[in-house]
A and B are shown apart, each in its own frame.
Chain A
């Protein structure tokens, strides 16, 4: 009886994954085309006298700095997001400062663990909710009212928001993640690794800063596994 129920659940999750992979990759390709169409039009059809070498040099300058992230970021976020949400996250953008916090809040509010089936569906719904709020507020406050708001909001306020938005967000999100994950060992390992990288390794080898988040993620996974509580882990694999 239980095996029949499990395989039924497995089948419907497999279908969910197949559907989201298909919808996700088609919509992402469409988004890619729309996002390139604008600049292509400007460069080739508006008489701005742009040569191919200007584009290549500019692209090379950007690639030299960010090329690593094209690969590292999808690798870093995949274990957290799962395959369905990957196609949402990398098109909607603002992943660490908006989408992941939304997913954590949703999972903790229905008491689902990330990586479980309920957790995956909760993350997809949460990102959907976040996308709806985000697109609407962008369309209204930037698209419609943006040019008017530029003259209304004091530059000091914008400057403070730009400078301090990350610490205002990350402190709270870290606490939320610690509380909702309920994994003391992983928490201690992760914070110790982050402190080690920020205050010992990066000052000694500044180039490591580019990969710091990816390395801390990888080492947190490895050390959490190696140093796991062997009694606790059995109960942690809950049937959801």
Chain B
């Protein structure tokens, strides 16, 4: 129970952190981080090489990188908050890889919970032992692996299909991404409405803040406001949710 050294694995122990924070798991987690950094570097290099040939100035690449970085501050901090809440259940390395990267908090927690139930217990319950944790971690990782595997298999196939379609019907290729994007976010946003009144109010406040920011940014030609708008909308909406939730 009180052993802290990672070598002290005991299937019946409920001291999850003794195995979950072991050095080997840390190395694997940092390995995933390193791979993503390498990928990002290689991709940016490839984009830099291609840009001049399609008359895209380097300044637009830089601008895109910065806009993406700024826009992701709000969502990243939200992921961090949720990740911290899950440290007790999964330890730092598993939280970093499964919740922070590859998956997302909702799918991975659900996967782990399903795995725990399959072993006759629940996450964080009195029977949530090192053994249950290891099985849950394995199940989450296998499921995440299947996502990557199907991406690896499907992407080349879809690319070929897209090329064929672009040749026979170029007009539809201009329409598909926009329609797909609008469809995806309409459904994701509207699915939040019936969850509770607070959810619905929070969503409208977020939407209104974004609309206001974009309007002001356009009228006063404030480019930075366009980039920060998402961050502002998230913060204002979540603070208002805090007050309506606790009220």
Contact = CB atoms under 8 A, between A and B. Distances in A.
A1 interface: no
B148 A48 contact: no
Interface in B54-76: 54-56, 60-76
Given A74-B154, A163-B241, A93 B186 contact: no
A110 to B, nearest CB: 5
Contact of A50 (B76, B131, B171, B227): B131
Nearest to A213: B187
A233 B20 CA distance: 55
A70 B97 CA distance: 18
Contacts of A117: 54, 56
Interface string A32-53: 1011111111110011111000
B81 interface: yes
A30 B176 contact: no
26 contacts: A37-B31, A40-B138, A66-B107, A75-B154, A83-B162, A95-B104, A96-B185, A97-B78, A102-B72, A103-B68, A125-B61, A126-B65, A133-B73, A135-B37, A138-B79, A138-B80, A138-B96, A146-B87, A171-B204, A173-B230, A181-B182, A186-B179, A189-B179, A189-B182, A216-B183, A217-B184
A213 B141 CA distance: 24
Contacts of A228: 175
Pairs of residues from A and B, 8 with the lowest C-beta to C-beta distance, nearest first? A126-B68, A220-B183, A171-B206, A129-B68, A129-B69, A12-B53, A172-B233, A171-B207
Given A16-B49, A63-B143, A105 B88 contact: no
Contacts of B162: 78-79, 83
A164 B199 CA distance: 6
Contacts of A218: 183
B32 A35 contact: yes
A114 B178 contact: yes
A182 B76 CA distance: 27
Among B96, B156, B185, B241, the most chain A Cβ lie within 10 Å of the Cβ of B185
B183 A217 contact: yes
Contacts of A119: 177
Contact of B84 (A9, A158, A190, A234): A158
Nearest to B134: A42
A198 B190 contact: yes
Interface string B108-134: 001100110111000000000011001
A70 B94 CA distance: 20
A121 B182 contact: no
A86 to B, nearest CB: 5
Interface centre among A12, A16, A35, A48 (most CB of B within 10 A): A35
A239 B223 CA distance: 25
A43 B101 contact: no
A173 B71 CA distance: 10
B182 A169 contact: no
A44 to B, nearest CB: 10
Contact of A58 (B29, B118, B159): B118
Interface in A205-221: 212-213, 216-221
B183 A190 contact: yes
Contact of B185 (A20, A174, A198, A199): A174
Nearest to B46: A19
A29 B11 CA distance: 31
B35 A13 contact: no
B54 A13 contact: yes
A167 B206 contact: yes
A79 B180 contact: yes
Contacts of A55: 135, 138-139, 142
Nearest to B61: A125
Nearest to B215: A179
Contacts of B117: 61
A220 B9 contact: no
Contacts of B194: 198-199
A224 to B, nearest CB: 4
A117 B177 CA distance: 12
